[in-house]
Amino acid sequence: MKNSALTYGIDPKSLTVGEDGVVRYVMVARSDSGALNVIYQGIRCATAETKTYARWSGNSSWNTSPDAAWQALDFRGPTRPAMMLARQGVCEGRTVTGNVQKILTTLRSDRVEYR
């Protein structure tokens, strides 16, 4: 079985900074073959955690995850893409980088792809 590399990105129009300190966004993962995985997630910088709120089902609807728990950000495993996003511009240590525009500017200036 061949390992397929994924390329990640976020929809800039979906990025929000909540009053609760959580940065929410839609992340898109694309495989080399063009398959997409789309998720609605949040990063809580203060506790270095991420949560998946919903996944795009591909038929014009979101499958919500009402029982989803916060998970620690890590450079390995399923939280790696969120960890990279946090490090590349969403968080400055345990605080949110700033408003939406500042986060987007920071992310755009650090065009690092990870696989």
Four-point Cα dihedral 10, 15, 18, 24, nearest 10: -20
Alpha-carbon distances, residue 80 vs 21, 62, 71, 102 (angstroms): 20, 22, 11, 22
Domain segments of the chain: what residues? 6-109
Give yes or no for residue 115 having a pLDDT over 60: no
Q: What mean pLDDT is predicted for residues 33-62?
A: 92
Give yes or no for residue 32 having a pLDDT over 90: no
In this predicted model, what pLDDT tens digit does every residue of 56-87 receive, in sequence order?
987 778 999 888 999 999 999 999 999 999 99
Question: Fold for domain 6-109?
Answer: Lipocalin (2.40.128)
Q: Give the up-direction half-sphere exposure of residue 15: CA atoms within 13 A in the CB hemisphere.
A: 21
Residue 80: in which H helix or E strand, if any? helix 80-85
Give yes or no for residue 112 having a pLDDT over 80: no
pLDDT for 110 equals: 59
pLDDT for 16 equals: 98
Radius of gyration of the CA atoms of the chain, in A: 14
Q: What mean pLDDT is predicted for residues 45-53?
A: 97
Give yes or no for residue 96 having a pLDDT over 90: yes
CA angle 75, 77, 83 (to 5 degrees): 40
CA angle 38, 13, 70 (to 5 degrees): 50
